[in-house]
Amino acid sequence: MAKSSRLSPQDVEEIFRRFQAANPDPKGELHYLNPYTLLVAVVLSAQATDEGVNRATKPLFAIADTPAKMVALGEDSVRDAIKTIGLFRGKAKNVILLSRQLIDKHGGHVPDDRDALEALPGVGRKTANVVLNIAFGHPTIAVDTHLFRVGNRTGLAPGKTPLEVELKLLKVVPHAYGRHAHHWLILHGRYVCKARKPECWRCLISDICRFKAKTPAPT
């Protein structure tokens, strides 16, 4: 009997059960020291690799791990510190602007609120979702290119836009797995369900996934 193109609630439950069994406490790969440095790191990670951001932020965060310290450091110094990251000029400006706004409007603290986060310079929905999830434990889902691909390929949350995929995932992911769902899916897309050559032969959910052109094991 052919599989339905739609995943059943039982299929979805089994997918996340397997992810949890294999990696009970998944972590993001950006390095940070506190909610503020997490926010800065995520802003810097747009169109850049986590590895590249981590190299740049390690010495930066050693001297500027609060909004006040970052503002005191100044835009020129921030720009020099992150010049190996793509779009570094605009990002340095946003880091200083958002740091000033955190001081002026939030007492130097990162707000646990989506609207307040998205009002900060350089912060969009995806960045806010990452911060809300990692810093404050909300079951948000930040849809990057990896997660967008996994949502569509597997049949978990087919959608034409990142927002569509996000909203569908929020509906189908069982509550018990909401806290870590976005990490499991991003890591799966980054290391197994790759864009050009998905490694289906070592995929935990290959038998459930609705992707038809599964890649055979290398010989």
- Kindly state the average pLDDT of the residues 188-215: 95
pLDDT band at 159 (very low <50, low <70, confident <90, very high): very high
Return the amino acid letter for 122: G
Is residue 20 a contact partner of residue 205, using CB atoms and an 8 Å limit? Answer: no
pLDDT of residue 5: 64
Selecting among 50, 65, 83, 144, the annotated active-site residue is 144
Nearest in space to 105 (alpha carbons), one of 90, 93, 121, 128: 121
CA 36 to chain centroid, in Å, comes to 16
Dihedral over alpha carbons 160, 143, 191, 4 (to 10 degrees):
-50
Is residue 147 a contact partner of residue 165, using CB atoms and an 8 Å limit? Answer: yes
Is residue 32 a contact partner of residue 55, using CB atoms and an 8 Å limit? Answer: no
CA distance 67 to 26: 28
pLDDT digits (tens, 9 = 90+) for 114-155: 999 999 999 999 999 999 999 999 999 999 999 999 999 999
CA distance 14 to 36: 35
User: Does the annotation count 11 as an active-site position?
Assistant: no
User: Does the annotation count 144 as an active-site position?
Assistant: yes
Of the CA atoms within 13 Å of residue 38, those in its CB half-sphere come to 20
Predicted confidence (pLDDT) at residue 4 exceeds the cutoff of 90: no
In this prediction the pTM is 0.91
For the chain, what percent of residues have pLDDT higher than 70? 98
CA distance 154 to 82: 36
Residue showing tokens 């969009």: 124
Is residue 215 a contact partner of residue 199, using CB atoms and an 8 Å limit? Answer: yes
Nearest in space to 114 (alpha carbons), one of 100, 97, 130: 130
